[in-house]
Amino acid sequence: MFKKLTERVYYLEHNEDTDRPVLGYIKGDKFSLMIDGGNSAKHVAIYMQELEKRQLPYPKFVAITHWHWDHTFGISATNAVIIANSLTNKQLCKMRGWKWDEESMDKRVAVGKEIEFCNSMIKKEYPEKDKIKVISADMIFNDYFMLDLGGITCEMIKIGGCHSDDSTIFYVPEEKILFIGDAACEDLYHGESYDKGKLKKVISILSEIEFDIVIEGHNEHTDKAELLEYLEGSLQKFKIE
């Protein structure tokens, strides 16, 4: 379902069947921005169809929250300018050289470059592995970048965190809306766990941002208080242990 949060901000809901994440949309007077590139051309096509239904312009830019396949494998189908931080782009460049036959995919799981959950979901989303196309970004920033879309802006802040060191969040100050991708999630590559120091940093940064609505990569939108309560609860587990 394509949800409208305000006159300028929308998002396509996540779909667990093949681990498709939320895809955000910010409508400016001059340009529009897509947040995350989806996990395939099929995923992107659904998003674009929803825009057409509402007579919303296609995005000029696509900004990436982090390098994981479900957030990036669709960007080649967007026909837009791709924005990513330098760490994200470094990993995209690395993945461009990966092979996608069954043997190569399974080997990456065996050596710890990939996890079995992602491996199985990629195979489910891509029955034809030759459809996988990884591309790198067109615009690259380091820690912060602000994009003026005309009448509305989007601040891109590299936050890091437990889930992925390159995680970027996207803040729309005019609407007090925040897209955080998977920045609130645990590390899935090292035993599904949180790192205390990284988690405290994420909580500190999010606490200082004035937002009312927050959209995670694989969840329904919620508010600041509920998100921080969840993260603080995860932090408290360290003290109990």
- Is residue 151 in some structural domain? yes
Query: What pLDDT is stored for residue 196 in this prediction?
Result: 83
- Is residue 236 in some structural domain? yes
CB atoms within 10 A of CB 90: 16
Measured in whole angstroms, how far is the alpha carbon of residue 239 from the centre of its chain? 30
- Is residue 103 in some structural domain? no
Number of domains in the chain: 1
Structure tokens at 91: 């990993």
Integer angstrom CA distances of residue 195 from 64, 91, 186: 23, 21, 8
Compute the distance between CA of residue 74 and CA of residue 40 in angstroms, rounded to an integer: 4
Residue 238, pLDDT > 90, answer: no
CA-based torsion, 25, 61, 80, 36: positive or negative: negative
CATH number of the domain where residue 173 is located: 3.60.15.10
- Is residue 105 in some structural domain? no
Percentage with pLDDT > 90 across the chain: 83
Cβ atoms of 10 and 201 within 8 Å: the answer is no
Query: What pLDDT is stored for residue 188 in this prediction?
Result: 64
- Is residue 114 in some structural domain? no
- Is residue 109 in some structural domain? no
Question: What is the pLDDT averaged over residues 81-89?
Answer: 98
Minimal CA–CA distance to 218: which of 42, 3, 12, 78?
A: 12
Q: Which amino acid is at 103?
A: E
Question: What is the pLDDT averaged over residues 175-204?
Answer: 83
Letter string b/e over residues 57-69, b meaning 16 or more CB atoms within 10 A of that residue's CB: eebbbbbbbbbbb
Question: What are 199-215's pLDDT values in tens digits?
Answer: 889 999 999 999 999 99
> What confidence tier does 192 reach under pLDDT thresholds 50, 70, 90?
low
Query: What pLDDT is stored for residue 240 in this prediction?
Result: 41
Domain residues for the domain of 223 are 2-97+136-240
- Is residue 176 in some structural domain? yes
Question: What are 102-112's pLDDT values in tens digits?
Answer: 999 999 999 98
CB atoms within 10 A of CB 165: 16
Q: Which H or E run includes 86?
A: helix 86-95
Residue 97 burial (C-beta neighbours within 10 Å; 0-12, 13-18, 19+): exposed
Average pLDDT over the chain reads: 93
CB atoms within 10 A of CB 86: 13
